[in-house]
Amino acid sequence: MEISPNTKIDDLLNAYPSLIDFFIQKSPRYQHLKNPIMRKTIGKVATLKQVAAMGDFELESLLSEIEQTIQKDTNQRPSADKDPSAVGAEKLRTPEERQKILKNIILDLHKGEDIENLKTRFRELIKDVDPSEIAGMEQKLIDEGMPETEVKRLCDVHVAVFKESLDKQEIPRAPAGHPIHTLSAENRAAEEIMDNINQLLSDVGDPPDEKKFADSAEELQKLIAKLAQIDLHYLKKENQLFPLLETHGISGPSQVMWAIHDDIRADIKKVKQQQIESTLAEMLSALKNLLTAIREMIYKEENILYPMSLKTLSESDWLKVKHGESEIGYAWIEPAGDWRPEVAEESEKISAKEKIHLDTGGLVPEQINMMLTHLPVDITFVDENDRVAYYSQGKERIFPRSPGIIGREVQKCHPPKSLHLVNQILEKFRSGERDVAEFWIQMKGRFIHIRYFAVRDQAGSYKGCLEVSQDVTEIRQLEGEKRLVNWQ
């Protein structure tokens, strides 16, 4: 086979399996090449120039060593296309330089430069772009002070600039049962629902025939309600993927994507309302905008978020995602397999006989856990460093939680639009100005009471925040009295 900077590592190792030992001897960073899951995912898209960068090796030198090793093992010298001019250009395109180029392109886009000119400039400067580089560029813009709302506003446009390059890349596939495989299957289900909606709209005609639309209104209402289950899909991303990406220093792109999730949620609510309150033309316009937004999100997920996540997260990370996803639930489908990573599960075990002594009495950890999970309220505790330390996992939580949020900054557990309010509450708790904040909302026909309590030690020092949420629908309807003697 021909070996070049753009040769995929999986293709190379399939042709020359003995090279696995060569890479592992070169650097322990290449140990993951022995993992079949990594080979089937990252190996399908990672090129030799990316592999060289991962090991901090000069590309041209690594290619020469690979050729020599193959010749030694097979007595055949592979054909090589180092493309000296391309290699030389690559030396001028370090990851930092590429990031700078990407950032400048987007900044010029922000200033109003013509998008077609920027696409041309992009093609001339960088032939291929890795999904993680787009995420890194977004992160850098946010770190340097560009508001997340502004990055969000430009998100669709800068993806359009890079789309030609992204479309050329092979999307890594995860095995059945892997969280990414499940998320992708949910996307296929969402596309099927949207195709059915589009078919119905096509049958109604453009401009729409009022009678045909009236005949199809009930079916359309059911399809929109079914599409609204995409909220579960987004909740898994927000509570599973995003927290783990943050532990690897990737938070900006997650916040931008979360803000778009909230826009889509608002659009779904708007379409449902307009089915009742607005004109047919207004409702159809809002519905078409909603479908476009969801399809664009699917593109960003599968061409940027998923490849970046597969490249960034470890097998242990994916095990955490796997454990937590069932607690949130699945949109339309169930996982297609029982995937398990090739890593041992870590567990912290405390003797069941070892009591934890409290102010009044003592309980073993199992008793404490059972007590907290049987309370008729949802509890979440955030420590003094604003990190989520615990949440109670009862039979039916009001607001979904998953293990992925443990250790996460609480600010990142809320959509960007409410971040300033979260910070205000915590600042007033920390300063001692307030001890309680409470709210109540109506959700899905239920009345929910939400309270936040500042937690302080005996000296009055702030030690964290306790969130308590309770469904008080039935409690609000109580009248008179019911005494213990009346219990049956």
The structural domain count of the chain equals 4
Write down which residue in 113, 142, 167 finishes a domain: 167
In a shared domain, residues 83 and 97: no
pLDDT in tens, 180-204: 999 999 999 999 999 999 999 998 8
Write down which residue in 48, 74, 90 finishes a domain: 90
- Mean pLDDT along residues 198-224: 89
Structural domain harbouring 22: 9-90
In a shared domain, residues 363 and 307: no
In a shared domain, residues 98 and 85: no
Whole-angstrom Cα distance, residue 479 to residue 25? 76
Whole-angstrom Cα distance, residue 259 to residue 248? 20
Token representation of residue 161: 């600039």
- Mean pLDDT along residues 460-476: 95
Whole-angstrom Cα distance, residue 109 to residue 113? 5
Strand (E) or helix (H) holding 408: none
In a shared domain, residues 26 and 152: no
**Would you say residue 368 has pLDDT above 80?**
yes
Write down which residue in 119, 136, 167 finishes a domain: 167
Q: What is the DSSP letter of 237?
A: I
Query: According to the model, what pLDDT value does residue 160 have?
Result: 66
pLDDT in tens, 96-121: 676 677 677 777 777 777 777 766 76
pLDDT in tens, 377-399: 999 999 999 999 999 988 778 88
pTM as predicted: 0.60
**Would you say residue 249 has pLDDT above 70?**
yes
287: nearest Cα among 273, 304, 268, 261: 268
Q: Which stretch, 189-193, 217-221, 299-303, 345-349, has highest mean pLDDT?
A: 189-193
Q: Which residues pair with 447 in a beta bridge?
A: 442
Angle between helices 280-300 and 148-168 (to 10 degrees): 70
In a shared domain, residues 277 and 313: yes
Residue 129 amino acid letter: V
Residue with tokens 């998008």: 115
Whole-angstrom Cα distance, residue 439 to residue 369? 27
Query: According to the model, what pLDDT value does residue 401 have?
Result: 80
The verdict on residue 339 lying in a domain is: no
In a shared domain, residues 136 and 233: no
Query: According to the model, what pLDDT value does residue 92 have?
Result: 40
- Mean pLDDT along residues 163-176: 73
Helices (H), 278-341: 280-300, 306-312, 315-328
**Would you say residue 375 has pLDDT above 50?**
yes
How many CA atoms within 13 Å lie on the side-chain side of 313?
A: 28
In a shared domain, residues 100 and 40: no
In a shared domain, residues 227 and 321: yes
In a shared domain, residues 319 and 211: yes
In a shared domain, residues 320 and 408: no
Token representation of residue 454: 């500042």
- Residue 449 binned pLDDT confidence (cut-offs 50, 70, 90): very high
